[in-house]
Amino acid sequence: MPKHRDLIMRHRIIVVASIALMLVLAVPAFSQKTIIPQIGLDWTRERPAIKVQVLGQVRNPGLHTLQAYDRLASAVGAAGGPNEQASIRSVILMRDGKAIDTLDLYQYMTQNDQSQNPEVKDGDIVFFPLATNMVTVFGQVFKPGKYEIKPGERLMDLVIMAGGFTPFSTREDIKVQNIARPDSVISINVKRFALDRDPALNIELKAGDIVTVPTTPTTVTVVGQVQKGGTFPYEPGTLLSYYLGMAGGYAERASTGNIRINRWGGKTVKGRESTIMEPGDVVVVGEMQIKGWRDYINLIAQVATTGFIVWQVARVQ
């Protein structure tokens, strides 16, 4: 877990630093002047200076000088951008001693939503609170780490924030647990959500949730009544008969009519030699039930042999 925490913290620092840099660069090069078209002629006019305070979780809090008509991003850039503890989704804009808006800079940076980047006025105060609604995503997403969520946001919202699934992800067994209830783990089949559009599978997230996106398996396992059970590399398009051959074929007491395949996503299907296999499959070859006199004789012989060995051991002792 210390390694995971270090990885998450490094990722959050990179994300916040990137946002800070983008906000700093967002200050237009022409911020000192405004171009005003008038009857085919352009002339420049100095914009008056304004004072805006940027407080809370920023790198350089305090009073900053901007120009009239500058927007929130310019004020944040002047303050060096948010620090690692900042909430970038609940930024408070105050005017004349009152909070007039709560702004989502993530929405602005990712979707260019200008409603989240309003014009600031002389005397405004911009406040960055501490981030509180944090969730963590591990595993096969492009940007694993810690993310701030808003009330009502769901699993797929987090996946989008984390850059989406990698090609190596399995979407049939995503695990969601909460640090307050570590023993309670929910398994989500996002692949089924994509097919059925069942909103219950796109669960609402809560602060402290930990989401794990596992890696797609690359093997098939064969156990039970086979000669050499084991785990074998998955080959796309292969049949069950191929893996039975890899396992050395049926054992003496194998029941060819009692083969089950446990799929990676939790489903169990009846196995036949012509069944097309999937990555992560676990094949269980069942044992033949006693039906005839030959089976009874074999069973009695095994019991007698076991009894004789126990008797010999007892004699030696």
Which pLDDT score is estimated for 313? 42
Residue 73, amino acid: A
Domain count for the chain, please give it.
3
Give the count of beta carbons closer than 10 Å to the beta carbon of residue 181. 9
Kind plus residue range of the DSSP H or E element containing 45: strand 41-46
Task: Please check whether residue 208 is in contact with residue 134, taking contact to mean a CB–CB distance below 8 angstroms.
Answer: yes
Which pLDDT score is estimated for 158? 95
Q: Are residues 205 and 172 in the same domain?
A: yes
Task: Please check whether residue 147 is in contact with residue 134, taking contact to mean a CB–CB distance below 8 angstroms.
Answer: yes
Q: Is the pLDDT of residue 62 over 90?
A: yes
Which pLDDT score is estimated for 122? 97
Task: Please check whether residue 79 is in contact with residue 26, taking contact to mean a CB–CB distance below 8 angstroms.
Answer: no
Q: What is the pTM of this model?
A: 0.63
Average pLDDT, the chain: 82
Confidence category of residue 266, pLDDT binned at 50, 70, 90: confident
Q: Are residues 100 and 156 in the same domain?
A: no
Give the end of a domain, one of 213, 241, 268. 213
Q: Are residues 92 and 189 in the same domain?
A: no
Q: Are residues 282 and 307 in the same domain?
A: yes
Structure tokens at 98: 């009152």
Confidence category of residue 179, pLDDT binned at 50, 70, 90: confident
Q: Are residues 109 and 149 in the same domain?
A: no
Q: Are residues 119 and 19 in the same domain?
A: yes
Which pLDDT score is estimated for 250? 95
Confidence category of residue 290, pLDDT binned at 50, 70, 90: low
Q: Are residues 184 and 282 in the same domain?
A: no
d(CA 23, CA 230): 55
Q: Which residues of 235-267 are buried (b: 16+ CB within 10 A; e: fewer)?
A: eeeeebeebbebbeebbeebeeebbebbebeee
d(CA 208, CA 201): 19
Give me the CATH number covering residue 166: 3.10.560.10
Q: Are residues 89 and 149 in the same domain?
A: no
Q: Are residues 184 and 86 in the same domain?
A: no
d(CA 173, CA 212): 9
Q: Are residues 30 and 66 in the same domain?
A: yes
Q: Are residues 143 and 170 in the same domain?
A: yes
- Tell me: the pLDDT tens digits for 74-111? 999 999 999 999 999 999 999 999 999 999 999 999 99
Which pLDDT score is estimated for 119? 97
- Tell me: the pLDDT tens digits for 108-165? 999 999 999 999 999 999 999 999 999 999 999 999 999 999 999 999 999 999 999 9
Which pLDDT score is estimated for 314? 47
Q: Are residues 118 and 207 in the same domain?
A: no
d(CA 50, CA 52): 7
Which pLDDT score is estimated for 29? 36
Range of the domain at 16: 2-37+45-128
Confidence category of residue 240, pLDDT binned at 50, 70, 90: very high
Q: Is the pLDDT of residue 35 over 60?
A: no
Lowest mean pLDDT among 114-128, 151-165, 265-279, 301-315: 301-315
Q: Is the pLDDT of residue 257 over 70?
A: yes
Give the end of a domain, one of 213, 246, 276. 213
Give the end of a domain, one of 213, 246, 281. 213
- Tell me: the pLDDT tens digits for 223-232? 999 999 999 9
Sort 61 into a burial class: Cβ within 10 Å, 0-12 / 13-18 / 19+: middle
